[in-house]
Structure 1
């Protein structure tokens, strides 16, 4: 009788412990699912093109008042492609400080400057176009600093990039690195096509002033 009672108590205790553990396991699964959802959401946000589906007028609305000339949609796509190729083979200078330094030292010859039109405050790069004109270096604006940063291979928004025709002051990338071989082959043609289009749009804009 005593043994039977002890056995029943033991079984009840085990059931109770099992019941108490179950919510913890469920909670762990819920937490894991929640973390997985957050990661998927973060990846999705990174993959979304902020300019997808926007008309040229919509692109103009998201930019500051000094963002002129703002590249036409087709040219913006070509610019982003060029920046991607250039970044992979180290033909770029990133950031206002680096770009201005290259301009003042005369190291931006035959380059193309890409500026983000949705930058704030505008004073961050308002001096760059005038300096570029002084040095005879073509420039254009694109409608998204986030998209420009992504084209340059970084998750951080980028306000200003100088694409150099010839690499200067940096070691050549390893040809077996991801995308480098393809970028090396595609860059020369992409540069000639895009830089010519940027110059054409810029000259038309300056002539209209």
Structure 2
């Protein structure tokens, strides 16, 4: 009787393990690389044809990044694109399709997101980061720490002076939190950019 019960227990345990094993393998480290904060942005660059965004969404120009944020002028809403390769900022007036879409362009829809292809992998990886310093945001829970971006592919916080490598998964050069990272896809430089977290 004891042997039969023990054998049944072992068989049941083995079945449970075999059923759970694929689930354990499916939960890769990539699942935990993205932020749990909400972000949602869809932009059709085939309609707007913004050259700054086009450059950042070209995998052949890896290392080019673009900050995207929303603002208004004279009652009209615009999406602004700021390149890390120059001080140039371009803008696209939101059309009816853009206005119908819900937008959460970064933490609390305040400072925007930074998108572009990193230059340290082949094929190049599309990154979408929050434009907020993760260290300062974590300490204060305020969205007042917009990062500056430079042509070397670094984002810098004016408050805490930390530098983040945009080409290398948003790691901090001096240690600390990585940039807040969102899931992003693109259908091409003159296609649709989707950020969805």
Same fold by TM (over 0.5)? no
TM-score, normalisation: structure 1: 0.31
Larger RCO: Structure 1 or Structure 2 (Cα < 8 Å, ≥ 6 residues apart)? 1
When Rg is computed on C-alpha atoms for both structures, the one with the higher figure is 1
